[in-house]
Amino acid sequence: MTTRIVATAALIALAAGPALADEDCDVPMASWQPREAVRTMIEERGWRLLRIKIHDGCYEAYVTDENGRRFEAVVDPATLAIIDIETDQRHR
């Protein structure tokens, strides 16, 4: 039982790491993936891409999910890892 609790706590801590990370990206432009790679990553998740822009050195992908909910995914331009997801409260 204790092992399960420790393992669960470790998974939660690891999952929270990206959420606590700084949303600014410090990646040299030479290391950036192209916008088309962002589009592909978004579509592979089953989301529909509305717009991509650059803010604070990160890609910001404005998307809708399979239920039509809108949100913004902040994406690391080199690794295409999702750094943060912000929901669009206006379209609840």
pLDDT tier at 24 (50, 70, 90 boundaries)? Answer: confident
Prediction pTM value: 0.69
Structural domain boundaries, residue 72: 24-91
Domain total of the chain: 1
pLDDT value at residue 11: 47
CATH of residue 84's domain is 3.10.450
**Is 7 domain-assigned?**
no
Q: Is residue 64 part of a domain?
A: yes
pLDDT for res 70: 96
User: Is there a domain that residue 11 lies in?
Assistant: no
In a domain, 65, yes or no: yes
In-domain check, residue 84: yes
SS3 letters for the chain? CHHHHHHHHHHHHHHHHHHHCCCCCCCCHHHCCCHHHHHHHHHHCCCEEEEEEEECCEEEEEEECCCCCEEEEEECCCCCCEEEEEECHHHC
The answer as to whether 33 is a domain residue is yes
pLDDT tens-digit profile of 62-79? 999 999 999 999 999 999
